[in-house]
Amino acid sequence: MDSKGETLDTCGIADLEAAVETLSNSVLHGNLTPFSDSDVVELMQRLETCKRQLSALDSRLIIEACSRSLPEGSGAKDVVPFLRQTLGLSRYDASVRVEITRQCGEFFEPTGHLRPATLASTAEAFEAGDISRDHVRNIIDVMNHLPADIPAETCTEAEAILVGHSRVGWPDDLPKIGRDILARVDPDGKVVSDTDRRRRRGLILGRPGVDGMSWIEGWITPELRALLDAVFAKLARPGMCNIDDVDSVAATVRVVDSKVLEAAARRDRRDGGQRTHDALFALLQPGVDPAKLGSHRGLPVQAILTMNLADLASVEPGSRPPPRAAMSRSTRR
């Protein structure tokens, strides 16, 4: 029995399956030629709404499966591998569905009461077919990036803005809207704390593809970014650490000859991403000491911590600098 007291029996499930199959066959094998252009567009829109509503049912079924301990009983132990082996999903797709369930699903409390969805407005729009799974995924990502210490009403307002745009706009626009919201919520960068940054930090290395290549994504802290910027300023500039050029300037060269570097830079056909990759590859080679990378444009290759006098005065002996203290690299490419 569902939350509204309605019952789904075996016959009801068979009827639903038959209805979906009938609709699919009608569209796939039916003659669409007599339809006008506006009719075709309307059919596309209505089908999209139906598909979105069906996608919203995933959360309900995932919660039901977990309440019955189906992942554990199947041997998968966790819900993501359970969805993968049961539905033939990619790891990414299964993970997205689980995250949407956590944020948009309604869970029963130990007392038996139904707990509303964390992102109730998003869940409502998703169930109505007004927004897509990509909209929901981006809304969740934006909401997870908001500082934990902002008032609850601010979170509600931010969600309303995101859902309102999603009803009429594209999912691709949501990250930018999220950045605008964060800029308004925390214009001076004083609300975001070290706790927020630690909560969001992480790097993910994907499985190698058939060509042996792996993708990487994630978020790094300002401190790690500053350390990497200082290193990349030297090692990722044109002419440095080029794995396609045996005469490229190596990472172990402390003082770079400008003429040698200029000649190597003229031969360098890599883009920025390739240079960054090669710089990281060079940095991790045996015998390369990050503390002995010498200088770049007359400055040591190291990160410099900058803060104003008020920040300095607020630091207690033995404690970490305040979160708003800016980490900056000592050199620029």
pLDDT in tens, 257-271: 889 989 999 999 999
Per residue in 241-272, is it b (16+ CB within 10 Å) or e — as a string? bbeeeeebbebeeeebeeeebeebeeebebee
| Angle subtended by helix axes 174-185 and 152-166, to nearest 10 | 150
Q: How far is Cα 105 from Cα 2, in angstroms, rounded to an integer?
A: 13
pLDDT, tens only, 72-96: 999 888 999 999 999 999 989 999 9
Q: What is the pLDDT of residue 304?
A: 54
Q: What is the mean pLDDT of the chain?
A: 84
- Predicted confidence at residue 305, as pLDDT, reads 58
Q: Give the C-alpha separation, 290 to 301, whole Å.
A: 9
Q: Whole-model pTM?
A: 0.64
Bigger pLDDT: 189 vs 30: 30
Position 256 pLDDT exceeds 90: no
What pLDDT score was predicted for residue 13? 75
pLDDT in tens, 157-203: 999 999 999 999 999 999 999 999 988 988 876 677 788 888 888 99
Half-sphere exposure of 24 (CA within 13 A, CB side): 7
Domain ranges of the chain: 32-113, 120-199, 222-329
